[in-house]
Amino acid sequence: MFSNCFYLNLNHPHIILNYFYLLMALKVGDKAPDFSLYDQSGQKRNLTDLKNKSLVLFFYPKDDTPGCTIEACGFRDKYDLFKILGSEVWGVSNGDSQSHLDFANKNDLQYPLLCDDNNMLRAQFGVPKFLGLLEGRVTYIIDSRGIIRHIFEDLLNGPAHIKEAIKVVKEIQKE
């Protein structure tokens, strides 16, 4: 009778951790948590330092992987447009500063890549893991008041993150 069913072990650490992320996940309209992280150049970046600018904060799984490179280069290619629209772009993953620096130099990335040691910022935002194993790919658009205006999650389609971000930043600029 139950031969076509599968068993999901809800006590598995990855399932529990992903469930925790989902419970803690920030939503559109929430105030983004203030944070302070170092980037690939050793510069400390704080959300509160962005005066009168919106922020495109994109979490990506890992430096120098095919999907992450496509996404990072997409933000690089549209970086001038984001600046014209009054927005900053910051990438976030758990790589160290040397890994981020190598990745940024190899791909001519002109924006900060934040070093999220131990995935603490990822946990604060509630970025889920894919299948409980792979770091998620999620982009947050945060307005100049620190309010999350849009969240876009798609692990496999990095270029869609750029298109979504441009659309939302344009809407914010019109206000």
Place of tokens 């070093």: 115
**What DSSP element (H or E) covers 161?**
helix 158-174
Distances in whole angstroms, Cα of residue 115 to Cα of each of 77, 85, 90, 171 = 22, 26, 11, 29
Count other Cβ atoms within 10 Å, centred on residue 9: 9
Tokens describing residue 163 = 């298109």
Residue pair 94/120 in contact by the 8 Å Cβ criterion: no
Based on the residue annotation, tell me whether 68 is a catalytic residue of this protein. yes
The one catalytic residue among 5, 68, 73, 115: 68
Catalytic residues: 68
